[in-house]
A and B are shown apart, each in its own frame.
Chain A
Amino acid sequence: MSNILETDGEQLLQAVLGLLAKKGIASPLDIQAQIASTDNATPGQGARMVAKAWTDPDYRALMLEDGTKAAEALDIPMRGMPPLGVMENTSDTHNLIVCTLCSCYPRAVLGYPPFWYKSAGYRARAVRDPRGLLAEWKTVIAPEVKIRVVDSTADYRWMVLPMRPAGTEGWSEAQLAAIVREGDMVGVTVPSV
């Protein structure tokens, strides 16, 4: 038996793909489709959900009840993805998402996690000193507003539904989606115009 560490990578990949197909775990087409949906996922997907929630109360209710269904309602592929939960920012509560154990991230709706989300510094400080961390993002949360740090430890993935900023009255969904950034849906920043 040859040494796996010295085997040509492409040959090894083909062997694993062959075994996955032979054992009925995943066909080459399944794998291609999963790679495509992972690569196509961007924060723009989550931003569309946020913009729709800001303009459609029924959609907002669905999003808070079942994030996966709300994503699927906008044709965002969720097959094989962990369930999506949505935490709503209000005038009383600001949510901040972190994964202290690794880098769990709502990839289906936000794409690949940014480098800082995976850093040991962010992961440690988000739970111990969230206000100090937010201050470095120039995000000031009033002292009377509760910060709720959501540590994504298990089977769900979490995103934040930020508050719609003033000055966006009468805007279209597309205009609204354009101002929603990745950080707004993690809770390190808030949308502004």
Chain B
Amino acid sequence: MILTPGTAIRVKDDWPEAKGPVHIRTPHYLRGRPGRIVRHLGDFPNPEDLAFARPAAKRPLYHVAFSKDVLFDGQGTTDELLVEIFGHWLEAA
């Protein structure tokens, strides 16, 4: 299932780097944080497998918008962040 633009999501509060060697393209500052799907950018081989030369299935990649106010100290700004996040890092908000 491909998430549609506008869908409210939350980035998983998951820290696999605590368990062993990993290659993750989901920045720390977004783990556990709410955002909104902007668009589906396409499907790309999962970098978490690719980096270890394992067979890498294609996974949906999304542009996800986050409010800067929510991520950092809220000052009532409308500024936002737009970040590429793989679908398997997203859960329902």
Contacts and interface: CB of A to CB of B under 8 A. Distances in A.
Interface of A: 83, 85, 87, 100-101, 127-128, 130-131, 146-156
Contacts of B82: 87, 148-151
Given A146-B79, A148-B82, A83 B27 contact: no
A65 B83 CA distance: 18
Contact of B27 (A87, A100, A148): A100
B80 interface: yes
| 6 interchain residue pairs of minimum CB distance | A154-B84, A155-B44, A147-B79, A151-B83, A154-B25, A149-B81
A101 B25 contact: yes
A127 B29 contact: yes
Q: Is the interface of A mostly helix, strand, loop or mixed?
A: mixed
Interface residue range, chain B: 20 to 34
B79 A155 contact: no
Contacts of B61: 154-156
Contacts, number: 61
A148 B47 CA distance: 25
A147 B42 CA distance: 25
A153 B80 contact: no
A87 B38 CA distance: 13
B47 A154 contact: yes
A149 B44 contact: no
B23 to A, nearest CB: 10
Contacts of B81: 127, 148-151
B41 interface: yes
Contacts of A147: 68, 79-80
Nearest to B71: A127
Given A148-B80, A154-B61, A154-B84, 7 more contacts: A130-B79, A147-B79, A149-B79, A151-B82, A151-B84, A153-B27, A153-B83
A52 to B, nearest CB: 24
A132 to B, nearest CB: 12
A128 B77 CA distance: 12
A7 B42 CA distance: 42
